[in-house]
Amino acid sequence: MKHQLSADWSLEYFWNTPYLEVESLQQKIIEKLRIDPKQKYLLVGSHPHCFTMGRGLQKKDGEILENLTEFDELKTQQQFPDWPFYKSSRAGGMTFHHPNQIIIYPLVNLNFVKISLPKIMFLLLESCKISVQDHLQDYVFDGNLLEVKKEPLGLWLSQGASKRKIASIGMALDHFVTCHGLALNLAFDQKVKDMLNQNYPCGLPGDTYAPLFGEGNENKRDTIAQKLVIHFTQVLSKLEHL
């Protein structure tokens, strides 16, 4: 399903689409943006259950960081044979995808947009935060704090002394075109819960991760995704014309 958001933005949805299929789509768009750098693309959707491994380590060689665990690729593949495992060009360590996420992949040519990749990542996280707050202010945030954190990078929900990560981000550049992006957890099915009991995505204990809802609230997905898309594209378009 494709939509035209504005004259310079193309929006396409890919709900529950296999990771490699969307990876191939990103590569095709990157080639287009090398020819026509003025156009911008936003891919919005989710993947079936899978792991992806970024090109960066979860810990730097010789570094000891509290609460970070190094990733064992072979052990993970043996423990979860029904979770496909894919290598990715994005930054960061191992992360997970599942159908009850909202994934946002922005593809823009930075030779034309003139905004840094770290800035785009921050804008994407802030847009996610604002979209969730706008939709759920009477549902989730009674005395809770939703914040974008740099270490470890992501969108975090603080509930008293408890801090839970609800959205992760990892991006890359290919010929100055951004790719990959953000994953917001809406709900965890039993398959995700079982995996998190035995795994350390991005080096963090599984119970660090939390969804916004319990199962059965998937009907909120489209509204949150739409708010996120509108906010992110509007802010980015304003910044590039400053």
In single-letter form, the type of residue at position 13 comes to Y
For 55, the token pair is 């090109």
Residue 194 lies in a domain: yes
- Read off the pLDDT of residues 64-95 as tens digits, 9 standing for 90 and up: 444 444 556 777 778 888 999 999 988 778 89
In a domain, 158, yes or no: no
pTM: 0.89
pLDDT at residue number 142: 56
Is residue 145 situated within a structural domain? Answer: no
Q: Distance between CA atoms of 27 and 209, rounded to whole angstroms?
A: 30
3 state SS for 153-201: EEEEEEECCEEEEEEEEEEEEECCEEEEEEEEECCCCHHHHHHHCCCCH
Residue-range definition of the domain harbouring residue 27 = 2-137+167-240
The CATH number of the domain where 214 resides is what? 3.30.930.10
pLDDT, position 218: 65
Q: Is residue 144 part of a domain?
A: no
User: Can 128 be counted among the known catalytic residues?
Assistant: no
Active-site residue among 50, 128, 179, 202? 202
Quote the pLDDT of residue 63. Answer: 45
What DSSP designation does 30 have? H
Domain count, the chain: 1
User: Peptide bond preceding 152: is omega within 30 degrees of 0, i.e. cis?
Assistant: yes
pLDDT-flagged residues of the chain (< 70): 1-5, 56-72, 136-144, 215-218, 241-242
Which residue carries 């299929």 as its tokens? 21
The predicted pLDDT at position 217 comes to: 64
Q: What's the pLDDT score for residue 154?
A: 94
